[in-house]
Structure 1
Amino acid sequence: LRWLGHRYQIGMPVVKQILKPRLYLEYDFRNKAPGDYATVSATLYNPRNKSWFGGNEDETTLKNVELELSGIPDDYVLPPEANSPRVLHIENLGGEEVIEATWWLQKEKESDSFSPKQLQVAAQADGVEKTVQSAEGMQQSRSMNTEHTVSRTGERWLMITSGSRKSQFHLELQSLRRPVSYPRLTINDQEIVYRDSLGRGDKLRLYPGVKATLLTSGENREIDVTNRLDGFLNLPANAVLTVTYDDRDEPNFWLAPLLRLKLVDSSEIQQTDKQRQGGGDF
Structure 2
Amino acid sequence: MTSTPKSSAGQTDTPPSNTPSWIRPVAEDSIGPAERAALNDYDGIAEGYSAENETSLLNAYYERPAMLDLAGDVAGRRILDAGCGSGPLSAALRDRGAVVTGFDSSAKMLELARRRLGDDADLRVADLRDPLPFPDAVFDDVVASLVLHYLEDWTAPLAELRRVLTPGGRLIVSVNHPFADYLSGGPGTNYFATRQTFDEWTLGGNTALLGFWSRPLHAMADAFTAAGFRIVTISEPPPAPAARELFPDVFADRPSGAFLCFLFFVLQAD
Bigger RCO (CA 8 Å, 6+ sep): 2
Higher helix share: 2
User: Over alpha carbons, which structure has the higher Rg?
Assistant: 1
Q: Which has the higher strand share?
A: 1
State the TM-score, normalized to the length of structure 2: 0.25
TM-score (norm 1): 0.24
